[in-house]
Every structure is written in structure tokens, then in C-alpha cells.
Structure 1
Amino acid sequence: MATFDEYAAAVRQLSGQVRDGERGAAAEAERRRRLHAGIDQLGQRLMVQEQRLEQLGQAIGVAPAGPASAAPAGVAGSPTPVPAVAGSPTPVPAVAGSPTPGPALAGSPTPVSAVADSDPAAALEEARRLADEADGHTRHVEALGQRPELLPTWSPAARAVAVYVACAAVGVLLMLVLVVASGVGLVSGFTLGAWVCAGLPVLSFAAGWFILGRWGRPALATVDPPRFVPLGFVICVALVPIAYCASLLVVRALR
């Protein structure tokens, strides 16, 4: 027959096991609470990323693929629940705004779903790392979107000067064609003078103005880019007549 001391020892042992179980249950509850909080934060972050990517797509004229492909499974509005957490006695219910571990992305050494099977905290940390990478790529795209297609590394003033000079140079070439045509009698002197003094300079300026507005505008710009109208007008109006006068001097010098 067991003595009272043996009975008391058994009670103390049982009491210790109960306390250990309570502490373990409390630690598990705290761990799951932190996981749920992390999943909520990550879900909100992914939704912000999705909205920003949709804005970038609209800015560059790319239509979104649709809600199913835009948001990962488990995000608010998705019917897919979060799978069971490894080591927990019951599956973790779906949390609004929480993504489920998705497939491996490019550059990810281990699929998130595979990590989740062994360590949910590690899977959450891996998802955060991938979200950080996505933020970095988004910032890079935004930086590129702030540059125009035409001469992206040039300053706006230098770009405008280059465009107007190039358009004026084309006007000079057309002017030389008219000079040759006038020399063989195909174009009258009045027509040549009108094109040299007004037609070609105005056309050169209009072409430069259009090019700067079409290809000198960044994809993400909210306002029209500076076109430096007075500078462009002076360049185009001055360059063509100056080139014409220079051509006359060259012709007279060669005679």
C-alpha cells in the first residue's frame, strides 16, 4: 500500500506536468498569435503592392490579368484558406488579408510552401523577404518610369536642344533640295524664299514640339514635360535661314 509521501510526490509530479502543459499551451498560443499578426501585416502589404502594380500597369498601358492572378491565394476575397500550421494540434483558420504560402518565385532557393510544412515562422520570414524584393523591383520600375523614351539620361533642356537642332537640320536638308530645285527651274524664287523664311522653320519647330511631347514624356509623368518653346523657336527660325545664307556664300565662293 502506497504511503502518504509517495502519494504527495505523485501529486507534485502531476502538478508540475500540468504547469508545464499550461506554459507550453500559452507559448503555442502566443506563437500562433504572432503568426496571425504577421500574416495580417503581410496580407495588407501585398494588397498595397497589388494596387501599386495596377497603377503602374495602367500608366504604361498594360491591362491587369485579373483578380485571380493579381493576388496570391489566401488574400482577402480569396476562397482558399490558410493550411494547417506544422506542429499545431488544429489547422489555423483562414485570416482575412492573409496570403497562403505560394509557389517559389524566381530566385527563391526554396518554395515557400515547402518551408511552411516544416516551419511556419520561417515561411513567413521568407514571404517577407520576397515582398522586400518585390518592393525593390517596384521602386526600380518607378525610377525607369520617370525617364522618357527619348534620351532618358539627358536633362530636359539638353534633350530639347538636341531635338530642335535635329529637326532644324532636317529642315536645312530640305532647304538644300529646294535650292537645287530652284537652280534647275523647278521652284520659283518666291516659293524658295517663302519656304526658307517661314515654311521650313515653322515645320521644324512643330516637329520638335511634337517629338518632345510624344517621346520626351515619362510614362509615369502626371504633367506635360517642358518643351522649351521659345528656345526651340529661336533655334529653328535662326538655323534654316543661316544655313541658307551660308549656302549662298559657299556657292559664290566656288564660282
Structure 2
Amino acid sequence: MSGFDEYAALIRELSTRQRGGERAIAAEAERRRGLQSGMDTLGRRLAAQGGHLDRLGEAIGTPMASVPEAQPAAPPGPGTGDGAIGGGAAAPGRSGVGAYPDGSVPTGDPAAELAVAGRLADEADRHGQETEALARRPVLLPTWSAPARAVAVYAGCALVGSLFMLIALVGSPLPVSGMDLVAALSCAGVPLMSFLAGQFVLARWGRPVLADAEAPAGRYVPLGFVICALVSPSLFCLYLILFRLLR
């Protein structure tokens, strides 16, 4: 082989190696861009989750601790996997909280750390949705519909009011002598008190913690007034009849 042929072979080998190096550099740059994009997306998700938690905390009267503003994301570094601070998923601004406290990622692969951080964010989203769903359900009879809940509350208050009627009737010196003061107060005052008690219960425990501002309170005022006005006096009349029969 002549010297020129050797020189041409060396040039071809150098060109091949150069093209291989360029492809490796391009692949590494693409990998870094993918990691950076994943970090940016994860940062936006975490910021949105923080805002959601703040809104939930304000709704239930427990403001969350202020979350520091997100800093520009840096390419993730290798994590230790032993609970020490570090890695792409390390909690920013929180001392003593490592990237993976449970040691679930023993490798130092940034892509693996980013994938696990994404799964943790998915889990946080799921828990946040469950919490919001619970916050949008009333504390009192959460599985009942609003009309059924109102009927149950007003009927219960009317029943309690009828028991007060019974106590007043038993303590009256003239229980069956006609519509005396006790009877008048029972037929007029107790239904009104039962109605107001039902209004209070529905306003306090019958409304979701997290509700839209324009959403109705679900107190069903006409329905409640009719129930309390009919149930309590009807039971009082029944008590009068039973007392007269038992004399």
C-alpha cells in the first residue's frame, strides 16, 4: 500500500470517528433537553399542586405554609437513594427531606429519578382529587341528596320539638283542659324553634366545605316550614288524645 493510500485510509477513519462523536454529542444534547423539559413540566405540576393545596387550606380554614417560588430548574443530578438530600426530585426548601426517603431508587440515573418523581406527582394529584371530592361533600349525611337531607333534618328537629311538647304537657297543671298557655306555646313556638334549628343544622353541617359561591345553601325553607308546622302540632294533638284516653 502506498503512502497516499495509507493517508486516505487514515482520513476516512478520522472522518468516521468524527461523525460518531458528533452523533454522540447530539444524542447527549437531546437527552439533556429531554431531562430539562421533564424538569420544567414537573416544576409546573408541583407549583399547581401547591396552589391547589393553598386553596383547599383556605377553604377549610387551615392556610398552608407558604411555598417558595420555583427557581429555574437545573438538570437533575444523581441521587443517593438513602434519604439524603439530592437528586432531581429532592424537595426544594425543605431541610431533612431527601429525594426518595423510602430508598426506592438505588440507582443514580437522572432519567430514573425523574420518572419516579413523576409517579410521585401523579400520586399527589390522585390524593388531591380525593381530598377535593371529600371537601365538596357535606359533613352531615354526605351520601344523601340535598332534598332528602333537608327532609331528614327538619323531620328530626320536629320530632325533638314534639318531645319538648310532651315534657311541657306532662308538666302542665291542666294538661287536657283545653288550649291553655302551654298548648298555645307548643303549637306556635315549638314548630318555629324546630324550623330555626333545622335551618341552623343545614347551614352549619349540610353545606360542603368547598362549595361554589353561587351554589345554594340547600336549606329548602318552604319545605322545612311545612314539615315543622305539620309534624310538631300533629304529634302534640296525638299526645292530647293519648292523655285523654289514659285518664
TM range (shorter): 0.7 to 0.9
Residue 110 of structure 1: how far off its partner (Å):
1.3
Aligned residue for 2:172, secondary structure, equals helix
| Map of 1:247 onto structure 2 | 239
Residue 10 of structure 1: how far off its partner (Å):
1.8
- AA in 2 matched with 1:76: Q
Residue 189 of structure 1: how far off its partner (Å):
5.7
| Map of 2:84 onto structure 1 | none
- AA in 2 matched with 1:254: L
| Map of 1:227 onto structure 2 | 219
Unaligned runs of 5+ in 2: 80-86, 91-97
> CA-to-partner distance for each residue in 1:43-66, whole Å, 9 max, x for gaps?
111111111111011111112122
Unaligned runs of 5+ in 1: 87-98
Structure 1 position 169 matched with structure 2 position 163 = no
Residues 1:104 and 1:158: Cα distance change in structure 2 (over 3 Å)? farther
| Structure 2 CA distance for aligned equivalents of residues 104 and 76 of structure 1 | 17
Aligned residue for 1:29, secondary structure, equals helix
Residues 1:31 and 1:207: Cα distance change in structure 2 (over 3 Å)? same
Aligned residue for 1:211, secondary structure, equals helix
Structure 1 position 42 matched with structure 2 position 42 = yes
- Select which of 123, 127, 144 maps to 1:133: 123
Query: Residue 169 of structure 2 contacts residue 183 of structure 2 at CA under 8 Å; is this kept in 1?
Result: no
TM-align CA RMSD: 2.6
Query: Residue 203 of structure 2 contacts residue 217 of structure 2 at CA under 8 Å; is this kept in 1?
Result: yes
| Map of 2:65 onto structure 1 | 65
Query: Residue 161 of structure 2 contacts residue 194 of structure 2 at CA under 8 Å; is this kept in 1?
Result: yes
Aligned runs of 1:1-255 on 2, under 5 Å?
A: 3-68=3-68, 75-76=70-71, 84=77, 100-102=88-90, 103-104=98-99, 110-111=104-105, 114-115=106-107, 117=108, 119-183=109-173, 190-222=180-212, 223-255=215-247
Query: Residue 182 of structure 1 contacts residue 189 of structure 1 at CA under 8 Å; is this kept in 2?
Result: no
Query: Residue 154 of structure 2 contacts residue 227 of structure 2 at CA under 8 Å; is this kept in 1?
Result: yes
| Structure 2 CA distance for aligned equivalents of residues 140 and 241 of structure 1 | 44
Residue 148 of structure 1: how far off its partner (Å):
0.5
Aligned residue for 1:67, secondary structure, equals coil
Residue 246 of structure 1: how far off its partner (Å):
0.6
Number of aligned residues: 229
- AA in 1 matched with 2:151: V
Query: Residue 104 of structure 1 contacts residue 110 of structure 1 at CA under 8 Å; is this kept in 2?
Result: no
